[in-house]
Amino acid sequence: MDDTQPTPETVMEFLGSISLLQWLPSSSLKTISEVIEFKNFNNGEYLVHKGEVGNGVYFICKGEVEVSVSIDSKALRHPKLLLRRGDYFGCVSVKEVHRADVIAFSKVICLVLSREHTDLISAEAIWNSEHKMGSYPKIEDILQLENLEVDKFRGITLPGTPMYGSVFGGQLISQALAAASKSVDPRMFVHSLHSYFLRAGDVNLPVIYHIHRIRDGNRISTRIMVAKQRGHELFIMYASFQHPQNGFEHHEPMPSAPDPDMLLSREKMLDSYLIDPQVPMSKRTSLAKSKLIPSPIEIRFCEPYDDFNIAAREPRQKYWLRTRGALSHDQALHRCVAAYASDLIFLETSLYPHRREGEAMAGRSLDHSIWFHKPFKADEWLLFMIESPIASNGCGFTTGRMYTRSGELVVSVAQEGLIKGKMQPRAKL
């Protein structure tokens, strides 16, 4: 950043590298970039005086500043501290005063967020500062992560969401991606991720996500995320982020599919089983007694989906999906939601040709990869086409493609997992 007035885009790029701001949504960073002030200081000039009423937060863009801190009434001083590009200091409250003299040690350029705007850096929601917990779709609640420290977040399995015995794989993928998305330039979006499931997670314990910053380039940034419980690794993900690029384009056309508005949701399909004489009475009674917890993702199957029919069928399916409720306007969030949805009823497609009456079957994910091709909205209908081209060596391999309603291919998915009958559940930590 040179001495000329920076553009909002340049400011956003700089602010996105600041650890204090890494968890903020791009909407908040954009607002900050529009209201932040650009200030120059010459060598020896005071940026702030000790005891002055705080006038905001200073982010150093260029040069070095010296901080002189008194530690007692005798004015003994710490060794002099130097702050450089990317460092910050200041006050956020109207009652705060600056605790030290801060003096330019060279020619210095700062961005200053004035006190009347400092509420922008204390947003409660990770995606949208205007939202309050519980006032937006359940999937955003799931993706709310507590920022413990730089590059370390905590997520939970939210009460009132569907349970799968252990922590849902889609939850691990999406929460890890949410954490990683907060550590890169906000103008960059994930274009691919590759993840590995190592252990079953306990739904009663929080998951701690550690981010490792592998590389930050002009076009590509790379992160590794490790999810842990009780000090043990559950899951690891490699993710690559890039600035949007223009280039050659082609894609496989979207397959034909009925309009989602003409289809029933999975919940309504289950309701219909209650009065369907083709469903055994024992199964209908069991269904009536069970408490159905709606998924945060609405699903509408293109072909009849019979939870009670366990006859063998072709290893492919397609359904429409979208979130229940409108999401915040952050493309990073929409990609995290698609990552969550990509693991729903996915690996089980590889079991369809092998289903037999009276035989319990299950799958266990080993790895999961996603490629994000174009921007999209996860709160609008996406067609998910899934097929399993092969099952071999005790593993099922499944691929999927997500299309927008207009026919654009926006996401590709691949997964391999262990599949067999009468599988015993994994031991928890």
Which pair of tokens denotes residue 37?
């002030």
Q: Which of 101, 185, 343, 379 is catalytic?
A: 343
DSSP letter at 349 equals G
Residue 415 catalytic?
yes
Burial environment of residue 417 by CB neighbours within 10 A (0 to 12, 13 to 18, 19 or more): buried
Q: Distance between CA 40 and CA 8 in Å, rounded?
A: 18
Contact 228, 207 (CB under 8 A): yes
Q: Residues near 154 by Cβ (< 8 Å), separated by ≥ 6?
A: 145, 146, 148, 206, 207, 208, 209
Residue 271 catalytic?
no
Give CA separation, 208 vs 225, 227, 229, in Å.
Answer: 10, 6, 7
Burial environment of residue 231 by CB neighbours within 10 A (0 to 12, 13 to 18, 19 or more): exposed
Give CA separation, 21 vs 123, 147, 153, 177, in Å.
Answer: 10, 11, 14, 17
275: phi then psi, degrees, rounded to nearest 5? -120, 15
Q: Which of 365, 369, 388, 412 is catalytic?
A: 365
Contact 173, 339 (CB under 8 A): yes
Residue 22 catalytic?
no
Q: Ramachandran region of residue 10, left (φ > 0), alpha (ψ -120 to 50) or beta?
A: alpha
Which pair of tokens denotes residue 148?
């413990």
Q: Distance between CA 396 and CA 399 in Å, rounded?
A: 10
Q: Distance between CA 209 and CA 147 in Å, rounded?
A: 10
Residue 93: CB atoms within 10 A of its CB come to 10
Q: Distance between CA 429 and CA 423 in Å, rounded?
A: 18
DSSP letter at 260 equals G
DSSP letter at 156 equals -
Task: Point out the residues that are catalytic.
Answer: 343, 365, 415
